[in-house]
Amino acid sequence: MKRFEDYFLAFNRWALILILAAMSVIIFTNVMLRYTTSQSIEWAEEVARHLMLWLTFIGCGPVLRYGGHIAIDNLQDSLPTRGAQILRVLIALLITGFCIFAIWFGLQYMDRTQYQSTPATQISFAWIYLALPLGMAMTLIHWLLIVRSYIARREFASDAHFDATASASL
């Protein structure tokens, strides 16, 4: 299981790096062309916007894994240990339910938009909206890999690339 987790996390990180790099190159090139030649790439803004959608949903899982989403901890801090654990079980069930709902809704949304095409690139919107169910499925996998330590000790993952405790103190 640890090997799967390592490969899954590496795949997710590289996907994010490549999407962000592509988006940055497209935007930078378009801005440079606009100011140097008064011409722009007609599809650049559309593709950058779609890549931002993919970046958001694919990045949701690692952010959840490292405890980076906004949370209000006052109630957990004020409860006794057992009460805080019960609250975390409820939170875990809600997050799991939300991920499953988003996957289901995302697949339905893809089905509804499969025959619509984007204006500049003429690709099906279903490919754009695949980011929601795929990103939420990946988020669910990240969540299931860390949920036990979250419930037991309110611990999030940390590794050589990211320290959740140090980030939370910023």
Task: Please give the Cα distance from 61 to 56 (Å, whole number).
Answer: 10
CA 12 from chain centre, in angstroms, equals 9
Task: Please give the Cα distance from 12 to 130 (Å, whole number).
Answer: 16
Q: Considering only 28-42, 70-84, 111-125, 154-168, which range has the smallest mean pLDDT?
A: 154-168
Its pTM stands at 0.89
Band of pLDDT at residue 66, cut at 50, 70 and 90:
confident
User: What is the CB neighbour count within 10 angstroms for residue 164?
Assistant: 16
For residue range 83-136, list pLDDT tens digits in order.
Answer: 999 999 999 999 999 999 999 999 999 999 999 999 999 999 999 999 999 999
**pLDDT of amino acid 165:** 59
Band of pLDDT at residue 1, cut at 50, 70 and 90:
confident
In sequence order, which ranges of the chain are alpha helices (DSSP H)? 2-37, 44-65, 74-78, 81-113, 125-129, 131-153, 164-168
Predicted confidence (pLDDT) at residue 38 exceeds the cutoff of 80: yes
* Across 28-45, average pLDDT: 95
102-113 b/e (C-beta count within 10 Å ≥ 16 → b) = bbeebbebbeee
For the record, the structure tokens of 16 come out as 């994010």
